[in-house]
Structure 1
């Protein structure tokens, strides 16, 4: 039997660009027959001798956000507009089983009122910088085989659908962690063991520091179509409502996801327990996403329904805290722009995405939000209380509509925009200002 020719072999597909960047494997470009002549390929695989190569890349992003009646008119800057600018080059060096990954960040903000914070601007700093050692005869992340990667240093983390641990990619300064990670590949399973502390960015140059009060540890296991995990979280200066104290929280969760014919789904449940300020923690969440694609219909729509239920605290001041803690969630939790986050909330979110053609895609989404518990308030995505429960017994927070449009102008350049409006519900109107929030996002993102 003659060997398969290059034409007979299944064509290699370049890796999808990720937010973390270190999971991209470009080693196939060592084979000249796998190259297409694209101008980026010399940057993605730079041979440095026997069993050594370098991968490089960069992201340059400009993002403008505008808010009218921010936080329903209660914010320090209710009518705000600002420009975020960031550049994130990276270099990924492989020498045999050793690897070093470095990604600095240059991030500035203009027009943030009343002043730029640490997620807006960090000037020049180190976003990621780690070394790892690969053992065994397979890459961690491979579908088969056994391998072990030991990693130490500063790194971004993206676990599952980022409900609890994400990169905070939407804001100008992403989230990174200092610490250790072990990646074990056993057959079809991948086990991620972590012991890290989040980075607290500063607004100046080289002033980012690991947190002295927060820590994260645990194990995250992925097998085909199923994740399950344990995550431990500590915060020596936690705040919930009007209380402040030491928090030790344990999260046990499972996620099922996949596709069948034109259907796709992503369902995740988490239970939390532990101690806060001398009392007990008992919290939970259930997130569901079910969608169906219509590839033969005009514009190939993809209709998705998302429903989230996130527990809140029932009785402030007792010895039991029921508020779920999302810890380090993704920045765009309920959409491109939304003032509310995944704490004490019930949300329903239908969405339809469409492919217009010539690299253009669009979507229209609606969101409705209720308080899960009348004894707890409303929080933003990072977990800050933005509207206390007061004396209101109303549950309805409000409704939002959002439209997005994106154009993949070239394989490296995407231009996108989003327009959202959030109308206050009875709870917001009874506890403070209740103006309709208008939100506009404009973005250009060049990366390779």
Structure 2
């Protein structure tokens, strides 16, 4: 081997590594490794991250299988009626395999969404970036990314957003189904109605499908229990992870004896008890409505001024989701998984513009895993370090909303509309 060949060998090796990392095989390997790790953490990690699945969902499914009570039909429930479908399906291989079956179902749904993200044609740079980001985001978020009902809705929402431009009716169907599992994809559906030129078709599909789901529920004997999740959510207090709870947690840190973290046995959550906490919980609903209204008006303004779909839809969807996160009395850690869908869409359509929200969302995911599940007890004890982590997480979410609102405002300006949109 000549001196030139020796010097060229490392360059060729680096080139081969780059080609491998830019291909589908590397992405699928990373996808499977991350999901295997998260599944293992759910099953064996400290803090019992899969408890809601194996302890709560499993019990509900068993009660229905034994003919005792069907949640959402025979009794009011905290979730929309379709949430019961994946919970029941997880009994497919027997009660003893409930948790493993749930995790396998989540992996399959994520794999389907990942396949749609990669596409069937030549893998574009933007889709490759988005795929690597989503894989990394799941790793940063940790086991909670798979261990709650939200894990069923995220791949549905992500696929719906990716198909929104070319297949708006299919996207509307997926987002509607997702909303009847967990309400949050309804915000993405509203964003699609605002941004799409086929908004009438989108709205028609959503209304017709919702009517069908409600009709089947009524035939099954649900009555008003089919909508019981609205009242169930309205009656909740200020949960310890909620953004507004930070103010009361700092009071505990400061030594206040009037504020404490208590466990609500009715809805199985840790909540804030103290002066003004109930008023703050009640304030979240009008605050959320006001935030949604502001974002909605900005989206309508951008569309009426001629902004392209690709410029309006990603920041509009992201802003809606962040409003739901910030003005939320619950604030559970799994809610952060919602960010994946609009950020992935943004990276596919406008990767350079979405570098900032992608970085912010990744930081939010990491801080979420720092708190839950491994050291959740420290937050419940209002340890200053973990209250600080939660505070920084809330500030990052606020920064994300500021970015989204700014992007929507710019989308409605003349100079921004004239910029060419990048190819997906």
Whose relative contact order is higher, 1 or 2, with alpha carbons under 8 Å and at least 6 apart?
A: 2
User: Which band: TM-score by shorter chain?
Assistant: under 0.3
> Higher strand proportion, which one?
1
TM-score (norm 1): 0.24
> Higher helix proportion, which one?
2
